[in-house]
Structure 1
């Protein structure tokens, strides 16, 4: 299937990989593909997405907010503060004693918390089930339009169809997904 990718789609996959690494994700999710399209979009598509209030910086902030954060969040810090414990001071002291990143989560389960996942940092991060579904739906979108290659726009249509709650929330925070789909179809029709 990858041989059917246009340059825009290949660039989007590479950008999705980079964004997943930047967010320290263990797998590429549909939201990373969405962000990858935004990062690598050419001018007409970038303008269409900006008109829909979907920008790289805005989506990066939204993705970071969705990403799992510290094991202890703001509510925990407030509760500890109520009994006289400064969570920030505790974290600083632990990092001074045991090294930076000692409290970082280890989503891989390998016991290497704070050291990072070397495969994810230097190799390719695998696609999760939702991202694979986006790729499949992108192919279906291209076939339905009688197009021979999969473009970045088809990825966006696949993201909109896949029903991933995180990706849907990212889009719908800015524009209704049916409206974005309508704009994308018009854009593809104009380009044809």
Structure 2
């Protein structure tokens, strides 16, 4: 499928992986693909995004703010407590046994050697919703009878997938719907 991607769309997908790693994500989500698209948009899409005030810096900052929150919050602690697990006691035990920075060091070890290369060491996988956005981008291009998947189609795939994280980054449902209309308008003018 990637052979059908424009150069910029390929760069956007590679950038999504880099952004996910940089933001500390274990998998590439639609929000990382969105950041890759915004960062590497072709000129027509760049104009649409600029007109809506959607920037890579703003999106990256919003994603960084989200990942800065603890993975388990008060609601999670309460849910665990209801089944007899004290999250604070678990955290204290981990800190006592492994050191104060144990949570920060809990990264999977990078595999080296032949097996590491075969298993794609250094690459992180796509989440199912991110895979779905790529599939939806292909469907959008086919529907419009286009031979190439550009960053505009990647964005349409993201919008069509309606992932809550990306919808929120784009101004909610209304913002996402308006952006979708703008992208279709841009594609219609270019045709």
TM range (shorter): 0.7 to 0.9
Q: Cα RMSD over matched residues?
A: 2.9
| TM-score, structure 2 as length reference | 0.75
Q: CA 1:26–1:146 in structure 2 vs 1: closer, same or farther (change >3 Å)?
A: same
The separation in 2 between residues aligned to 1:42 and 1:138, in whole angstroms, is 15
| CA shift for structure 1 position 43 | 3.3
Partner of 2:77: none
Aligned positions, number = 164
> Paired residue for 2:158?
159
**Further displaced range: 41-50 or 1-10:** 41-50
* Alpha-carbon displacement from aligned partner over 1:71-114 (angstroms, at most 9, x marks no partner): 687xxxxxxxxxxxxxxxxxxxx8xx947x4332xxxxxxxx35
Report 1:45-64 matches (<5 A): 45-64=45-64
Unaligned runs of 5+ in 2: 74-94, 112-120
Task: Give unpaired runs (5+ residues) of structure 1.
Answer: 74-93, 105-112
Of 118, 129, 132, the match for 2:110: 118
Provide, for residues 6-32 of structure 1, a one-character-per-residue CA deviation record: whole Å limited to 9, x for no partner: 112101101101110111111110000
- Whether the aligned pair in 1 keeps the contact of 2:167 and 2:173 (CA below 8 Å) is no
User: What is the match of residue 127 of structure 2?
Assistant: 128
CA contact (8 A) 2:110 2:122 kept: yes
Structure 1 residue ranges (4+ consecutive) displaced by more than 4 angstroms after TM superposition: 114-117
Q: Distance in 2 between matches of 1:72 and 1:131?
A: 23
1:83 alignment counterpart: none
**Partner SS state of residue 150, structure 1:** coil
Match of 1:102?
102
CA distance in structure 2 between the partners assigned to 1:173 and 1:14 by the alignment = 26
Give deviations 1:34-79, integer Å, cap 9, x for gaps. Answer: 0000111233322210211110110011111222533687xxxxxx
**TM-score, normalised on structure 1?**
0.74
SS where residue 102 of structure 1 aligns? coil
CA contact (8 A) 2:42 2:151 kept: no
Q: 1:53 to 1:114 in 2, by over 3 A?
A: same
Rate the CA distance shift 1:174–1:45 in 2: closer, same or farther, 3 A.
farther
The 8 Å contact of residues 23 and 64 in structure 2, kept in 1 or not, is answered as yes
1:12 alignment partner in structure 2: 12
Mapped to 2, the partners of 1:26 and 1:68 lie a distance apart of 14
